[in-house]
Structure 1
Amino acid sequence: MPTRQRGTSPTNPWAALGALCMGLFMIVVDTSIVSVAVPAMVHDLHTSLNAVVWVTSVYLLTYAVPMLFTSRLGDRYGPKRLFVAGLAVFTVASLGAATATNIQVLIAARALEGLGAALLTPQTLTLVTHLFPDGERGRAMGVLGATSGLATITGPLLGGLLVDHLGWEWIFYVNMVLGAAALGLSLRVIPDWRPGHARRIDPLGILLSSTGLALIVFGVQNGKSYDWGEIAGPVTVPRVIAAGLILLGAFVLMQASTRSEPLLPLRVFRDRNFSAATVVTAALGFSMTGMFLPLVLHLQTSLGLSPTKAGLLTAPMALLSAVMGPFTGRLSDRMNTKHLVLSGLVGMAGGLALVAARTTPGASAWQCVPGLLACGLGMGLVLVPLNSTAMGTVQPELRGTASGLYFTARQLGAVLGSATTSAVAFSKGTRAAYLPLILVLLLGAAAATAIRRTRKTELNT
């Protein structure tokens, strides 16, 4: 176990993991916590629903787009420095969001929060993979995965409580408290390790990848606002998305021909476990994010539950997922993670099918609980082994890149999931919105069959 870093005081990896979990929890909660505050924001800021939608859209946009670049910065300057910088940016931006008196300031602050999240997130897996040897990495990933899963599902519950009792501003004031605590702990316990792998910045690669991703995320996330048609003059949503795909294609071709330190070393995809895990995490992001809109619409609009009561209904799912995390982390150190991931994805698909079957006007809200519990169990089985699988056999000099790609894939999946379920829910009804989620989970299960069992000697190569 790495207990000392050159030029620093002795390091306790479990204390460092605690700081990483605090930062990651705060970041992930913010992807879902705003949804329950939308009506209050519309009322208090005297604005339109379309304007408030940008509070979520801009966060996802500035979160997903820069991660390929920020992961590379972690390789060059050290993951601790980027993690701390991300925490600082996010905490300051939260103050701006909490004190915003108009929608324009709030949207700008949320954009800055997304940038902080993009700086912070890719460094977590890189640091965990460095700090923990193969015999303990599964347990560490278990704690990290449980934190991520719990944060994803806790957002609506915490948001409902804060909005009902204190006001929407408090979803951002809480970030300031958590951010300040995480920042102080991180400076003290995370080692200032610098891999030193990346010595060159690729400005053209950054421009192509960032612009391409930004166009795709913008088009998908906001397509419904423009009825999937004209944005301005000849600029339409399909053309924006097509332009993004063309730029990403040009980026990949350029990276393939670059011999000296490309922004995206394509050889990372030769690792079969990483490639399979990246596809699965995109499917997971699609379903975990996409499931909340139809669920919230059914519980609050059809059944008339308050934000707090609707959030409380998801609490057992969150607790079950969190409890399963450390358990599956230990299992992932001892067995082929493919079986855990497959079981979890199929369990989540079955759980969503049960929820869909109970999404009827006359059904009690509590009839959704068995399906939600199945989803929580499935998430608990998938999240931790998937993280371990993604990073377990990646070459050390590629870990920063791999972490950035992995989280970018999950965020893009989340954007697609949110947009897809929104479009289906408003056109076909909330019950129909679960079908694409189930299909994507099953596609993820098909990708998971490519995961192979690794020998312990491979894990630190």
Structure 2
Amino acid sequence: MLPSRAISGLALAVLTASFGTSAANISLPALVDSFDSRPSEVQWVVVAYLLGMTAASVTVGALGDRVGRRRALRAGTLLFLVAAVVSATATTLPVLVLARAVQGVAAAIMTALPIALARDLTADGRTGRAMGLLGTTSAVGTALGPAAGGILVEWGGWMAPFWAMLPLGALALMMLVPRDLLVADASDRPRRPFDGIGATLLSAGIAAYALALAAPTPGWPVLPLLGVAAALLAATVMAERRAASPVLPLAELRSGPVVAGVIGNLLVAAVMMTTLVVGPFALHDGLGLPVAVAGLVMTVGPVTAAISGVVAGRVVDRTSSPALTTCALALVTVGAVGLALLPGVWGVPGYIAALIVLTPGYQLFLAATNTRVLSGAAPVRRGAVAGVLALARNLGLVTGASAMGSLFLALRGSEAAPSAVLDAMRATFLVAAVLAAVATAASVVLARSAGPTAPRPPVTRRERPARSRTRR
């Protein structure tokens, strides 16, 4: 059986971070009025959170390996709560933006480390269920954010969603103290200095990339920021090759399943973000739905994800074949093609039908990939590997929101006619289908190169702990 209280605490931490990601978006119009600011300025409330979460993904995973994943998760949850209080009581927009950036770092801890801890706490035949549950709670938190956030803003103003994060986070914090997690924290950890240079270079490079793509204003220096990101990431790789305890798990990144997981997480997350960016325009401007009805239709995706996540975990536990990941990616590809073609034929029912195909494929992909990759990773590096997967997913979300959103708006042009919107939607989702197909092909090729099962990357002399007391 799964250690229910421990897994429930991990799931609630993921739900709280997901709620924090989406709940603040609904507050943006109220923030414009409250702080007498422009929309491009208040958008930094969302961008800062995304930047903090993305830049810290790998570093917090490696830090968890160093100090203990449970301890790091509890500290991250507490930091999230403190940042929520500062956000809710902020009297100026810069203070709110800074608090949201800190909260994003905390959210990185609350989304990366539960995956690694879930693998630590479950037997091989039960890991898929734990991963499916985490995927379900992530979807529930994402869906709950806009729905509950809108009601909260109407009731208590823009600060109400931030206050609502406190009971969720506090309950998660109380549930992260069972004996199971204490045992997991007692697993052998390397006793070497934390790689501060590598962590700084990597976080700065990721932040530059995310900042370039999450540009909230016209004329943003995208190309210079991308150049800075490339230079910093190259410097990171050079530094990590000489580091005694690299924050970036270079040895694991040579593994076929890990590379396939990184590629798949990045591309599939971009596809899923496309549904959130293009969906409102397609449903409202293209298919003529009122805003409230369009919002209800869009909840089909998260609701389907919440239902299918647990089922996906059970399927993964029954079969660990690499073909399961490929089948999941194929479903995502078919769903993206359906979003491109079916609304033009069947209207809203066609859009819903495509979501019902796409979303379970996404949940099955997450459960299968996380289970396979983390089962093959060395126990002392699971936090860092989980951080890499979270980083790929966050970069995919940023890339999807920026690149795919810009593509849709460019294809639509200045035309607001329903036919122009539907044509732009069709072309954008076909591009999304190509991304999913590339992820599928990468999964097939890398699975073949890796063999039938996910091998555990060897622990090098530098990475081997002085004394091995790992609990299996």
TM, length-normalised to structure 1: 0.87
Mapping of residues 284-299 of structure 1, within 5 Å: 284-299=268-283
Mapping of residues 410-421 of structure 1, within 5 Å: 410-421=393-404
Are 1:329 and 2:313 matched, yes or no?
Answer: yes
Aligned partner (choices 441, 444, 453) of residue 436 of structure 2: 441
In 2: Cα distance, 1:375 partner to 1:160 partner = 26
Structure 1 equivalent of residue 383 of structure 2? 400
Structure 2 equivalent of residue 136 of structure 1? 126
Structure 1 equivalent of residue 74 of structure 2? 84
- Per-residue CA deviation, residues 297-356 of structure 1 (Å, 9 max, x unaligned), is 333555675665333213333232222222222222232443332222222232233333
Structure 1 equivalent of residue 468 of structure 2? none
Are 1:45 and 2:27 matched, yes or no?
Answer: no
In 2: Cα distance, 1:345 partner to 1:351 partner = 10
Cα distance change on mapping 1:302 and 1:161 into 2, 3 Å: farther
In 2: Cα distance, 1:393 partner to 1:409 partner = 18
CA contact (8 A) 1:212 1:244 kept: yes
1:446 Cα deviation after fit? 1.3
Structure 2 equivalent of residue 208 of structure 1? 201
Structure 1 equivalent of residue 357 of structure 2? 374
Aligned partner (choices 229, 245, 248) of residue 244 of structure 1: 229
Aligned partner (choices 141, 147, 156) of residue 151 of structure 1: 141
SS of residue matched to 2:193: coil
In 2: Cα distance, 1:148 partner to 1:252 partner = 31
SS of residue matched to 1:47: coil
SS of residue matched to 2:225: helix
Cα distance change on mapping 1:457 and 1:73 into 2, 3 Å: closer
CA contact (8 A) 1:161 1:307 kept: no
In 1: Cα distance, 2:179 partner to 2:120 partner = 14
In 2: Cα distance, 1:317 partner to 1:211 partner = 33
In 2: Cα distance, 1:144 partner to 1:124 partner = 8
CA contact (8 A) 2:320 2:372 kept: no
Structure 2 equivalent of residue 225 of structure 1? 217
Residue type matched to 2:234 in 1?
G
CA contact (8 A) 2:23 2:148 kept: yes
CA contact (8 A) 1:19 1:185 kept: yes
Residue type matched to 1:151 in 2?
G
In 2: Cα distance, 1:339 partner to 1:426 partner = 36
Structure 2 equivalent of residue 123 of structure 1? 113
Structure 2 equivalent of residue 454 of structure 1? 453
1:157 Cα deviation after fit? 3.6
Aligned partner (choices 321, 329, 332) of residue 345 of structure 1: 329
Structure 2 equivalent of residue 270 of structure 1? 254
In 1: Cα distance, 2:337 partner to 2:161 partner = 31
Q: Which moved more, 1:422-431 or 1:398-407?
A: 422-431
Number of residue pairs matched?
Answer: 441
1:163 Cα deviation after fit? 4.2
SS of residue matched to 1:66: helix
1:114 Cα deviation after fit? 0.4
Cα distance change on mapping 1:300 and 1:352 into 2, 3 Å: same
1:424 Cα deviation after fit? 1.5
CA contact (8 A) 1:291 1:421 kept: no
Residue type matched to 1:179 in 2?
G
1:97 Cα deviation after fit? 2.2
Residue type matched to 2:309 in 1?
G
CA contact (8 A) 2:320 2:368 kept: no
In 2: Cα distance, 1:266 partner to 1:328 partner = 30
CA contact (8 A) 1:134 1:456 kept: no
> Which consecutive residues of structure 2, in runs of 5 or more, have no partner in the other structure?
413-423, 458-470
In 2: Cα distance, 1:269 partner to 1:164 partner = 47
CA contact (8 A) 1:157 1:310 kept: no
- Per-residue CA deviation, residues 350-394 of structure 1 (Å, 9 max, x unaligned), is 22333333666x985454211121222222322211211221111
In 2: Cα distance, 1:398 partner to 1:457 partner = 11
1:398 Cα deviation after fit? 1.8
What is the RMSD of the two structures over their aligned residues, measured on CA atoms? Answer: 2.8
CA contact (8 A) 1:156 1:311 kept: no
Q: Which moved more, 1:159-168 or 1:207-216?
A: 159-168
User: Taking every aligned residue pair, what percent have the same amino acid on both sides?
Assistant: 28
Residue type matched to 2:110 in 1?
L
CA contact (8 A) 2:373 2:454 kept: no
In 1: Cα distance, 2:367 partner to 2:119 partner = 13
TM, length-normalised to structure 2: 0.85
Aligned partner (choices 77, 94, 107) of residue 104 of structure 1: 94
In 1: Cα distance, 2:133 partner to 2:145 partner = 18
Are 1:113 and 2:103 matched, yes or no?
Answer: yes
